Every structure is written in C-alpha cells, then in structure tokens.
Amino acid sequence: MTFPLWMLLGFTVWTAAILVLTIGTYRFSHILTGRAGMASFPADGREGAAWYQRAMRAHANCIENLPLFTVVVFALYASGISSSAADAMAGIALAARVCQSLVHICTVQTDRVVSVRFTFFFAQLACFMGMAGIVLSHAR
C-alpha cells in the first residue's frame, strides 16, 4: 500500500474517531443517564455543550474534505505515481487535519484561534492541490 493510501486511511479513522469519541460519547452519556432521549439531538447541533457543538462542526469538516483527499490519493494510485513530494503532502494533509480538528474541538473560537484553524485548513488545501498538480504533470 502506498504512503498516500495509508494517510487516506488515517484521515478516515480520524473522522470516525471524532464521531465516536466526542459526539457519540456525549450523546450516549446523556441517553444512558436519562438526561436525554434518543431523538433529543437535532442535526444542526445548536443544542448541547459548546465543545460538543464544535465537535459536530469538526466532524462535518472532516466529512466535507475526505472526498477531496480521496480523489487526489486515488488519482495518484491509479496513475501509478510514487513520489516523495506526494508522500510528504499526504502526511502534511493528515497532520494538518488532525491539528485543525483538535483546535476546533478543544478551544474557544476567538479570532486568533479561528486564524490558526484556517491555517491548518489552508495547508490541507495546498496539499490537495499540490498532489493534484503532481498527477496533472504526469498526465499523457
């Protein structure tokens, strides 16, 4: 398996971990202690603790970006491209995703924190575009 595929798997596992460890834990703890019913959690996430609302948005961010990462990694794989630059960008993309999620969930969202979070997002986007550029540069 190629390094970008491993990073794609890591991105997927991270997305699932956010779901289970934050949203799932919050909901099930409320359900099992009788503080909420199964149908007590609106999809828009406007209710609940602030960190829970941020976790809902961080998970949605992962879901929104996972297809982009999937496409560029698949394009690399299908093209048979193996490059240290693509490997580095895939690793940076996953690390930036994890950092973005943690900043989103664990900190109150001030202007400075949102700027940090955006920096991690921008790093991912740059990596996605860089990997796409590698694929395009090898196109025949």
**CB neighbours (10 Å) of residue 139?**
7
Q: Which helix (H) or strand (E) holds 134?
A: helix 111-137
Q: Can you read off the two tokens belonging to residue 130? A: 């860089």
Find the DSSP H helices in the chain: 3-18, 25-32, 50-79, 84-106, 111-137
pLDDT in tens, the chain (140 residues): 999 999 999 999 999 999 999 999 998 899 999 888 888 887 776 788 999 999 999 999 999 999 999 999 999 999 999 999 999 999 999 999 999 999 999 999 999 999 999 999 999 999 999 999 999 999 87
> What confidence score (pLDDT) does residue 75 get?
97
18 contact partners, CB below 8 Å, separation of at least 6: 55, 58, 59, 62, 101, 105
Domains of the chain in start order, with CATH, are 3-137 (1.20.120.550)
